[in-house]
Amino acid sequence: MRTQVAIVGGGPAGLMLARLLELRGIESVVLEARDREYVQQRVRAGVLEQPTMDLMDEVGVGERMHREGLVHHGVELRFAGEGHRIALSDLTGGRAISIYGQQEVVKDLIDARQASGLPLYFEVSDVSVDPDAPRVEFTHEDSRHVLDCDFIAGCDGSHGVCRPAIASVLTEYHRDYPFGWLGILARCRPASEELIYCHHERGFALASMRSMEVTRMYLQVPPDEDADRWSDEEIWDELDRRFGMEVNRGEVFEKGVTPMRSSVVEPMQHAKLYLAGDAAHIVPPTGAKGLNTAMADVCLLAHAIEASYGGDDAKLAAYSERALERVWRVQHFSWWMTSMLHRFAGDDDFQLKLQLSQLRYTTSSPAQATALAENYVGLPFAA
């Protein structure tokens, strides 16, 4: 087999890259380890920033997002028992975020790929990449395949094979946070019309949603917490306590703990292999940036690959450097939000006072509120 770009991983990064390449007349093959059902059900991100919404439109898959997604023009920061709204759109010249589940984005991109009749293989196994050849080998339906290509895009997430394949040339920057998030999905009206990020002495809490009928809630818990240790009632009681109000309750139909960590590898490329999305970097979810940063990477990569086929290799050579500028901005924002809103074991009252001062400043100074807003709605994607 031969193609121009072999894309390892059919998550948001891989599928969006395939779509961007298709629209530029560049061939690709997408290889996904899981089955279609699984990737379409996997519950993850819920917030699309403005540049991601714009990208969905640009590649012609934004129709359902506009129909079913919930556009939000503000978020609330809640601390010391009171809520304070950050007017995202007013502070950013009208930009906004949209609540639209990651699995919906994935569904829309898979549908588009299949409508175009382009190659997307599910349930591939024993994938190996040779960045120098470049070549990808994999097993599909009991047959071994060799896929020769011009470029390999490593979009296989944080547990994939692409990053390890070039580990010897990478420097990893890493930070683990001493807590995790216990997340639930429940059938009830959201606690509020906008997201609430809540600072509380007992720990952080977040009220989000997937629709007006489905609520998404998170509680800061110890990093190795067993979700089954929490009964539904204990979760609701703790949410009420931290938010300082009675939140709507309903049937909990999904429950899990997410560890919180930051990591970046540099460079994001070696030989003919280019990393994008979670394969290259992870952020704690407090800034809602993981999916969006994956989209920013592939946007840049698609433009660079296109330029390369046009005879200009400079953009591809500079891919990692350009991508990392935005990646580190996002890392900082996610770290800042995480540090401001969570309780860290061993924090003294001095630390608590500093957090509250920072929250007060962020919600009262237009300059600081704007800094939060412009990062939250998403800084422009480089092209």
Interface residues toward ligand RFL, by CB under 6 A: 8-14, 31-34, 39, 44-47, 102, 124, 127, 155-157, 159-161, 183, 258, 277-278, 285, 288-292, 294
Please give the Cα distance from 212 to 180 (Å, whole number): 26
Distant-in-sequence, close-in-space partners of 209: CB < 8 Å, separation ≥ 6: 46, 70, 99, 190, 195, 215, 216
- Matching residue, tokens 């002495």: 201
- Least Å distance, CB 280 to ligand RFL, is 8
Distant-in-sequence, close-in-space partners of 80: CB < 8 Å, separation ≥ 6: 199, 356
Torsion, Cα 161 165 171 173, to 10 degrees, reads 10
Q: Locate 249 and state its tokens.
A: 């309750």
107 in active site: no
Closest-CA residue to 358 (of 336, 325, 328, 382): 336
72 in active site: yes
Distant-in-sequence, close-in-space partners of 30: CB < 8 Å, separation ≥ 6: 7, 9, 10, 14, 15, 18, 113, 119, 120, 121
Q: Locate 250 and state its tokens.
A: 């309903």
- Least Å distance, CB 111 to ligand RFL, is 16
Closer residue to ligand PHB (CB): 138 or 181: 181
Please give the Cα distance from 50 to 95 (Å, whole number): 6
272 in active site: no
- Residue 13 contacts which entry, ligand RFL, ligand PHB, none (Cβ below 5-8 A, type-dependent): ligand RFL
69 binds ligand PHB (CB under 6 A): no
On whether the CB atoms of residues 299 and 383 are closer than 8 A, the answer is yes
Stretch that binds ligand PHB, among 34-42, 45-53, 147-155, 364-372 (CB under 6 A): 45-53
Closer residue to ligand RFL (CB): 92 or 286: 286
Among 288, 295, 300, 341, binds ligand PHB (CB under 6 A): 288
Q: Which residue among the candidates 12, 51, 284, 285 is catalytic per the annotation?
A: 285
- Least Å distance, CB 309 to ligand RFL, is 23
Please give the Cα distance from 289 to 120 (Å, whole number): 26
- Residue 105 contacts which entry, ligand PHB, ligand RFL, none (Cβ below 5-8 A, type-dependent): none
- Residue 9 contacts which entry, ligand PHB, ligand RFL, none (Cβ below 5-8 A, type-dependent): ligand RFL
Please give the Cα distance from 206 to 247 (Å, whole number): 12
Q: Which residue among the candidates 107, 200, 270, 289 is catalytic per the annotation?
A: 289
376 in active site: yes
- Least Å distance, CB 256 to ligand RFL, is 7
- Least Å distance, CB 292 to ligand PHB, is 11
Binding site for ligand PHB (CB under 6 A): 45-47, 195, 208, 216, 285-286, 288
Q: Return the active site residues.
A: 72, 197, 285, 289, 376
